[in-house]
Structure 1
């Protein structure tokens, strides 16, 4: 799916951010829906399916841990949304970005962003979402993200390949657990 045909939900308590995203995306996507209150997420997702969700990490101005955003990220899955969720925050650091990716976010963007960067992040998340929903048939193209040593066709493995690609350039420490040969 191209970005031009995508529907995007933006959830942020800052009206200036909502306005800026709406203006940026109005010519780039099919539809932009904005919401200030994350408490309305269930009702919005019950009414409409979205391809992408831009979700703020902090809704309480006195607490900037990102835990609120992670809570709502998990709620999107609980509400049966298969939208790619991109976390946005003004208080970003590598540890928080890694936590978001581990919790299932498609990507992580720090405010203020460059418009071209945000558009590219949305395109990549949409492409990744399409690959997970409809895996390709070519084994080489499935593993082109990481190389030929890793094999996997399932949506879960494609998600792991994507996370490896995102986290690899960082200085983050990663622990992979699991039985040998699985």
Structure 2
């Protein structure tokens, strides 16, 4: 017995009784009415899975217009309900008209019980499928909202930041590829999210990918997906980041860290707006808004032969340079106040404030780690402070990123940091070249720099 709910509408009470007897062994809930005017009184019509509707209710009338009228009324109240039309006067044009109006199927009286039950069961399966699709759409919509939520904000009113945001506003409504550059910790991902938030794709998903953290062996699988059995651990079909971002925005962070081989594969996908899963020959079209970011000098990398010039042209139709924190003036204090309130609330110290001398210290510092370093500095000060007024001594400004090592490095971490910094400086931020010089893989170098929070 199916867990379904059926409503039968016919002016012939004998027919209603016959259908009720037939269907009661197939479906848990069967209701009948002999007057279609009662449809208007049904407040829970949406709870029915199927309606069996007669097409003629007035004596001597067999045009089917009455049935079509009530079909439209039912569809207004319950658009997804499956309606099967019934009539003793069969005509192909009438059946076609009913189907165009939204009917699921059409049966003639008298019917064959087996055929009628098969028709009703098919309609019931259709109704269940429609319900499942509707639920999936609602879940997908909710999931997109959750994914797109971000508790971070673009904070500040300096001229440098305002100029960037004005450019973002102009570009966001278009679908052009955007390249965001700037030092680490300046907020490149926030700019990317703002581009998505202001775009026509804002209700779709924003997918961010840290390109530096993907090994070359997994590059294609991560970005383009794979089929079951494509390689040892491919136990099921899996969509890649390009497919996941379809209709939305795809943010490729640290794009300057890709090898030439992976650059070629990425260029093909961007040019053709199609991908092929690993282990498959099927071409899959993708509709994405592409946003890339890097802290590298890509023009210099092109000159050095380690970044493809054609890929650079593809990704930087619009170039947005995010200013470092040291060039944003009073934004330093605005951000400091924001993080002070945030961490003051988090650590149950809501009455904290920064005195004037401490503010001068924050303004005078170069902030090589930019906003990320400021955030960590404020959080540390909030945790360690003993009073409600933060003084200059409460802010332990790190010198690691500007370390000159005049006395020589004193720890292995300092030595490692010095060697990595020098290698990256010599190769203009090119991780592949620096890694080759240091005798480690690009992945290892990248992970070490992430750990140092450069």
TM-score by length of 2: 0.28
Separation of aligned partners in 2, 1:81 and 1:128: 13
Alpha-carbon offset, residue 81 of structure 1: 5.2
Q: Aligned to 1:82, what secondary structure does the other structure show?
A: coil
**1:67-95, CA deviations, whole angstroms, 9 ceiling, x for partnerless residues?**
00000000002223532000000011111
Separation of aligned partners in 2, 1:28 and 1:80: 23
Gaps of 5+ in 2: 137-454
The correspondence of residues 111-130 of structure 1 with structure 2, limited to 5 A, is 111-130=109-128
Q: Which residue, out of 104, 107, 110, partners 1:109? A: 107
The aligned counterpart of 1:33 is 31
The correspondence of residues 19-168 of structure 1 with structure 2, limited to 5 A, is 19-44=17-42, 46-48=43-45, 49-80=47-78, 82-135=80-133
Alpha-carbon offset, residue 42 of structure 1: 1.7
Separation of aligned partners in 1, 2:88 and 2:51: 17
The aligned counterpart of 1:170 is none
The aligned counterpart of 2:346 is none
Q: Aligned to 1:5, what secondary structure does the other structure show?
A: strand
Q: Aligned to 1:134, what secondary structure does the other structure show?
A: helix
Separation of aligned partners in 1, 2:14 and 2:132: 36
Q: 77-86 vs 88-97, which deviates more? A: 77-86
Q: Aligned to 1:30, what secondary structure does the other structure show?
A: strand
Separation of aligned partners in 2, 1:80 and 1:94: 26
**1:5-56, CA deviations, whole angstroms, 9 ceiling, x for partnerless residues?**
0110000000111011001001110111000000000212x04520100000
The aligned counterpart of 1:18 is 16
Alpha-carbon offset, residue 134 of structure 1: 2.3
TM-score by length of 1: 0.69
Separation of aligned partners in 2, 1:91 and 1:99: 14
Gaps of 5+ in 1: 137-182
Larger relative contact order (Cα-Cα within 8 Å, sequence gap ≥ 6): 1
Task: Detail structure 1 runs of 4+ shifted over 3 Å in the superposition.
Answer: none
- Is the contact made by 2:80 and 2:130 (CA closer than 8 Å) also made in structure 1? no
Q: Aligned to 2:32, what secondary structure does the other structure show?
A: strand
Highest CA radius of gyration, 1 or 2?
A: 2
Separation of aligned partners in 1, 2:52 and 2:109: 12
Please give the root-mean-square deviation of Cα atoms over the aligned residues, in Å: 1.5
**1:118-145, CA deviations, whole angstroms, 9 ceiling, x for partnerless residues?**
1000111111222233249xxxxxxxxx
Higher percent of residues as helix = 2
